[in-house]
Amino acid sequence: MTPIETALGLVFQWDVMVAIVSAALFGLAVGAIPGLTATMATALLVPITFFMAPVPAVGMMVTCAAMAIFAGDIPGALLRIPGTPASAAYTDEAYAMTRKGQAELALGANLLFSALGGLFGTAVLILAAPTLAEIALKFSSFEYFWMALLGLTCAVFIGARHPVKGLVSLFIGLFVASIGLGNPAAVPRFTFGSTDLLAGIDFIPAMIGLFAVSEVLRAMAQGAPRWTIDQTSMGNPFRGWGRLVRTYWRQQIRGNLIGTGIGALPGSGADIGAWVAYATARKFSRTPEKFGTGHLEGIVESTSANNSALSSAWIPALVFGIPGDTITAIVIGVLYVKGMNPGPTLFLFQPQNVYAVFLIFIAANLLLIPLGWAAIKLARRILTVPRTILMPIILAFCIVGAFASSNSSYGIIVMAVFGVLGFLMEENDIPVAPCILGIVIGPMLEKHFITSMIKSDGDLLAFFDRPIAAALGAATLAIWLWPVAMRAWRGRSAPAHRNLETGSQEEGDS
C-alpha cells in the first residue's frame, strides 16, 4: 500500500471526520466572537488532542484554524470589530458595505475567496514541502542555526509594527526558553530551587495563558459590554459568486501569491499577508478613491491572502520545525507530543502522516463553504451571547487544559503567570507573537549554536563556510542592517535636500 493510500485510510474514518467537523464548528464559533482569535481557538483545543491519535489531533488544529480565520470576518462586517487580527485589514471596507445593506455580498465574497485562497496555499504546500524537505536533508547545524535566527529576525523586523517592542517581546520569550537545564552542561538556569522548573516552562499552559487567559482578563477590565449589530437580516451569501470570480480574478490571484509568499516566511503570518495585500490592492486599483467606502477589491485580495498564508505557514513548520506563525508554533508542540517530530525526516519515516495533513487541509477548505454559510446565517445569535457568560466558560476550559498538560497544579500556575504577562504586554502594545516564537525557537537556536561552535572549535567564520549557511547568514544580517542603512541614507540625503531648497529660494529672491 502506498503512503497516499495509507493516508486516505487514516483520514476517511468516522472518528476522524467527527473530530474534524467538531473542530470546524468550534473554530467558527470562537473566530466569530470578537477578541477570541484563531490562535486562541487552536490553543484551547490542545488539551483535547492529548487523548487522540496523531492524525485526528493534527486534523482538529488545521480545521479549527482555517475556520476561525474566516469566521473573524463576520464580526468585522457586522460590528466593525475584527474577530481575528487577520481580518483587521479590511474590516472598515466590509463594515461600510454592511451600512449600505450589502453584508451578504461582503461575507459571501469573504467565504468564497477564503476557501479558494486556502486551497491555493494548500496546493503550494503540497508541491513545495517535499522538495524543500529533500534540500533540508543536507542541512547541518550551521544552516539550522541561521534558519532559526532568520525566523526570529523576521518576527521582530517584519512581523512587528514596532521593531523595538518586538525585540522586547522576543527577549522575554528567549528568557522563558532559557529556564531549566542549560545546554550542554545541564546546569540549572533561573530555576530558583524549583524542581518543576528544571524541565523548563511547559509550552502548552504558557500558550493558553498568553492567548486565552489574557483575553479573559481584558474582558474583565473592560466590563464585557454587549455588541450592537447594524444589519440584522441576511440574504443569500452564495448569490453572484460566478460574477465575483470573473470580475475579481486578478485580485484573487495577486492576494493568493502575496499571502502564500508571506505565510511561508518564518515568523510572519496571515495578518501581515492581509495588510500587505490590502495595500497592494489599493495601489493597483483603477478606482482607488472607492477604498474606504465599501469596495470589494480590497476585501477580495486581503481575504485571499490571509487564508493562503495560513496554509503556507506550514511549509517552514513541517520542513524545518520553525513555525511560520503563532498557530503553527502551537501545532509544533502538538506534533512533538504525538511523535511527529517536524523536520525533513518526517517526510522520510512518516510520509503517510504528512499526506494525511495535506488531505485534511483540502477537506477543511472544502468544508468551509457549507459550514461558513451556516455561520453567516447564525452570526446574529452567536454575537448575542453575553460575554459575562462566555468568559467564565473559557476560563474553565483554560484551567482544565492547563491541568491536563502535566496532571498537576503546576500547569495552572504557569497558565496564570503567562495570562497576566500576556495581558500586560498587550496593554502596553507589545506584540505577543515574537515572545511565542522565542519560546519555541529559542531551544533550537541554542542547540544548533552550541553544536556548531563545538564542530568549528569556536571559529565563528565557520558559520559562513557552507553556501546555504552563508546565504541564510547574509539574508539575516541584511535584515538587521537595513534600518541602520536607511537611517544613514536619509541622514545624508536630508542636508542635500535642504541645500537644494535653500538654493532655489535664494535664486527666487534674486
**pLDDT value at residue 261:** 84
Low-confidence stretches of the chain (pLDDT beneath 70): 34-35, 81, 158-161, 224-235, 266-269, 380, 382-383, 405, 493-510
Interatomic CA distance for residues 358 and 186, integer angstroms: 39
Residue 166 buriedness (CB in 10 A; 0-12 / 13-18 / 19+): buried
Buried b (16+ CB within 10 A) or exposed e, 269-279: bbbbbbbbbbb
Interatomic CA distance for residues 496 and 482, integer angstroms: 22
Interatomic CA distance for residues 189 and 268, integer angstroms: 30
Report angle CA 423, 429, 435 to the nearest 5 degrees: 70
**pLDDT value at residue 506:** 60
Close Cβ partners of 286 (under 8 Å, ≥ 6 residues apart): none
H/E stretch holding 180: strand 180-181
Reading the block at residue 195, the C-alpha cell is: 524542581
Q: What ranges in 72-202 are assigned the alpha helix state H?
A: 73-79, 91-99, 103-136, 141-157, 163-178
Q: What is the DSSP letter of 100?
A: T
**pLDDT value at residue 494:** 66
**pLDDT value at residue 295:** 83
Count Cα neighbours of 171 within 13 Å in the Cβ-side half-sphere. 7
User: Per residue in 243-252, pLDDT tens?
Assistant: 888 888 888 8
Cα–Cα nearest to 325, from 340, 315, 334, 335? 315
Report angle CA 459, 465, 469 to the nearest 5 degrees: 110
**pLDDT value at residue 417:** 93
**pLDDT value at residue 362:** 92
User: Per residue in 183-234, pLDDT tens?
Assistant: 777 888 888 888 888 888 887 788 888 878 887 888 888 776 666 655 556 6
pTM for the whole structure:
0.77
**pLDDT value at residue 277:** 85
Q: What is the DSSP letter of 224?
A: -
By the 8 A CB rule, do 414 and 209 touch?
Answer: yes
Reading the block at residue 262, the C-alpha cell is: 508571506
**pLDDT value at residue 505:** 59
